[in-house]
Structure 1
Amino acid sequence: MTVRTRRVVAGTALAACALVATSACGTTSENSGAPQSGGQQSAPKKCGKDGSYTIGMSQANVAEPYRQRMDDDIRSAAAGVPQFKVNFADAAQDNSKQVEQVQTFLTQQIDLLIISPNEATPLTNVVKEAYSKNIPVLVLDRKVDGDAYTSFIGANNVDIGKQAGEFVGTKLLPSGGKIAEIRGLAGSTPAKERADGFQQGITGKNVDIVATADGDWLRDKGQAQADALIKAHPDIQAIYSQNDPMAEGARIAATNAGKPDLKIIGIDGLPIDAGGIKAVEAGRLSATFVYPTGGKEAVAAAKTLLVDCGKVEKTQTLPTKLVTKDNAAQVYAEMNKQG
């Protein structure tokens, strides 16, 4: 073969490769089947109405009523999709345990992963590992670092925190005052976002956060932290708790300290007898904010991906609502009617 002939053959091959960019000529992630970071959604390994699919649900913990409700919502919604089987795992607030549980799901060759991470950074790599295997990943409520997942489903925690701050500054303490803040688990994204948003909400309203403490989202720890905060700062006029169980713990601490009128607000607004909406209705909390679990939305997204072979939005932002004594009964009835 002459030099000129070799050049013609090579040129023809390059042209053919350009014409079939999605064939094996290329080496892009689209061609290889690997998902692109933050880019387009890769198709799951299998999909279709005639298939059967195993979903792994990795829960940060079930000690919080909110997380138990999330699992219950997923279980209830999945019962309506005959192609689905859901396996649940409880990490019990242990990052290493949650990583191991997700890796076990991957070994079991699940078809889709739903995860509510205990903390963001420690769970990022294993979520990325699942995503890199073309396993759709739905991240609920708490985020991971980066964007190596299929869809994040949850409410806007910065906005919820901001609404909480505005409520304190305009309704609870319109003349200003001193408050304490009980935050959730430090490494979880809602804890930071709800704190950042609250600070935005009280800006310019003469409301001072004189002390903060981490309650890890748990009622008992919230009570212990509130007890210490009240003793150290007896002049505080309100407590902003980043979830309802910690807020209920703070109410117990306030009552024990002889401060039954201390104003306390929370977040979650579960429509159950032991939830925040009923606590507001009963007067134990001044307000709460409905924070949807995203359970039924996650199952709907899984159905779109696996059964319908469709795509979902990268971010699905769920609505929230302020609950006060004026609308608590109505909100409770509406949410139970929907559910």
Structure 2
Amino acid sequence: MGMRSRMVLVAGACAVLVAATACGTTHENSGTAGAGQQGASKCKGPGGKYVIGMSQANVAEPYRKRMNDDISKAAGAVPQFTVTFADAAQDNSKQVEQVSTFITQQIDLLIISPNEATPLTAIVKQAYQKGIPVLVLDRKVDGDAYTEFIGADNVDIGRQAGQYFANVLLPQGGKIAELRGLAGSTPAKERADGFDQGIAGHNIQIVAAQDGDWLQDKGEQQADAILKANPDIQAIYSQNDPMAEGARIAATNAGKPNLPITGIDGLPIEAGGIKAVQAGRISATFVYPTGGKEAVDAAKKLLIDCQSVPKTQTLSTKLVTKDNAAQVYDELNRG
């Protein structure tokens, strides 16, 4: 993974990036204590100017680049906002340091997509306890010392993926492999747990599971090793689309070009999972919204409108197969 610049200042005028995904949301009011107080303490109304710090786990994944683009575009429509981006490059210590710098700079609000949960928990709590509203995006931290979590239900996505294997790909059962994301990140565990639930009782056996860290090249390496050790596997469940694309390369090289492989992310871009489904490289994917637009909307409520936000905002997902891929792609790009 390349080391990117530590911070990029994105002013409100930089609203020329990729359009945000248009996924519906539901709000789960599981407690707003602290959120309203923090919003009130930072809120200066529409006449104020606000600096938002965005701490990104990495920008090597297309999904994370898209998340930053969605935040930039949404923030570009709010003239009171300036967003400063920091790339942790999958380094927990670096992300802690970058958030600490944001705190020292006395930013008005923190958006963070943690690299791993536990190592980032203390610094997120520190920001929160200093009165900085904290929006945790996509990946969780331990505990509840934050203002709002915004993301899809990864256990449910994993469960739906398991049901797709059980009902469509391998209704008679069979042997499969699993490519998991970064071990310490909450989506990796939740997507694995949900998948186990989805295949339970359907005679589907996971004979190999390896961490691909969400990256295509590592997904390819792991899939190559898995296929050499287990040439009889009948499908691969990948926890994201880049690893699924890597697995497809490995499967083709192993003489199995038609091996069923599924992914998750469903980015509505030319290099994304929806187009991969249309092209037949992967069998299915699930739309996993970045939450970028929703995070900026929440920031606006807290800082400009002086309103509270729910403790959890759950974003909707959708199964994408060849039957609906073109329609979903168009819907997301119209939004």
Q: TM-score, normalised by structure 1?
A: 0.88
Residue 74 of structure 1, CA deviation: 0.0
**Separation in 1 of the partners of 2:314 and 2:282?**
26
Residue 333 of structure 1, CA deviation: 0.5
| Gaps in structure 1 of 5+ consecutive residues | 1-36
Residue 67 of structure 1, CA deviation: 0.2
**Separation in 2 of the partners of 1:257 and 1:43?**
55
2:249 counterpart of 1:249: no
Correspondence for 1:83 among 73, 80, 85: 80
SS in 1 for 2:286: strand
Name the structure 2 match of 1:276.
Answer: 273
Identify which of structures 1 and 2 has the higher relative contact order when contacts are C-alpha pairs closer than 8 Å and 6+ apart: 2
Name the structure 2 match of 1:188.
Answer: 185
Matches within 5 A, 1:196-275: 196-275=193-272
CA RMSD for the aligned pairs?
A: 1.0
Q: Deviations over 1:160-207 (max 9, x none)?
A: 000000000100011111000000000000000000000000001111
Name the structure 2 match of 1:13.
Answer: none
Correspondence for 2:47 among 50, 56, 66: 50
Question: What number of residue pairs does the alignment pair up?
Answer: 302
Name the structure 2 match of 1:25.
Answer: none
Name the structure 2 match of 1:305.
Answer: 302
The one-letter code of the counterpart of 1:147 is: D
Name the structure 2 match of 1:335.
Answer: 332
SS in 1 for 2:223: helix
**Separation in 1 of the partners of 2:125 and 2:47?**
28
Residue 261 of structure 1, CA deviation: 1.0
Residue 46 of structure 1, CA deviation: 2.6
**Separation in 1 of the partners of 2:83 and 2:52?**
5
SS in 2 for 1:49: helix
The structure number with the bigger radius of gyration is: 1
C-alpha contact 2:179 2:243 (8 A) present in aligned 1: yes
Residue 77 of structure 1, CA deviation: 0.1
Percent of paired sites with the same residue: 77
C-alpha contact 1:118 1:188 (8 A) present in aligned 2: yes
Residue 243 of structure 1, CA deviation: 0.2
After TM superposition, the runs of 4+ consecutive aligned structure 1 residues lying more than 2 A away are 37-46
**Separation in 1 of the partners of 2:34 and 2:334?**
37
The one-letter code of the counterpart of 1:93 is: Q
Residue 210 of structure 1, CA deviation: 0.5
C-alpha contact 2:32 2:310 (8 A) present in aligned 1: no
C-alpha contact 1:220 1:249 (8 A) present in aligned 2: yes
Q: Deviations over 1:236-269 (max 9, x none)?
A: 0000000000000000000000000100000000
2:133 counterpart of 1:154: no
**Separation in 2 of the partners of 1:40 and 1:71?**
26
Name the structure 2 match of 1:19.
Answer: none
2:98 counterpart of 1:106: no
**Separation in 2 of the partners of 1:191 and 1:320?**
17
C-alpha contact 1:281 1:325 (8 A) present in aligned 2: yes
Correspondence for 1:296 among 293, 312, 318: 293
Name the structure 2 match of 1:164.
Answer: 161
Residue 328 of structure 1, CA deviation: 0.3
Residue 38 of structure 1, CA deviation: 8.1
| Gaps in structure 2 of 5+ consecutive residues | 1-30
C-alpha contact 1:38 1:147 (8 A) present in aligned 2: no
Residue 43 of structure 1, CA deviation: 2.6
The one-letter code of the counterpart of 1:149 is: Y
Q: Deviations over 1:124-155 (max 9, x none)?
A: 00000000011000000000000000000000
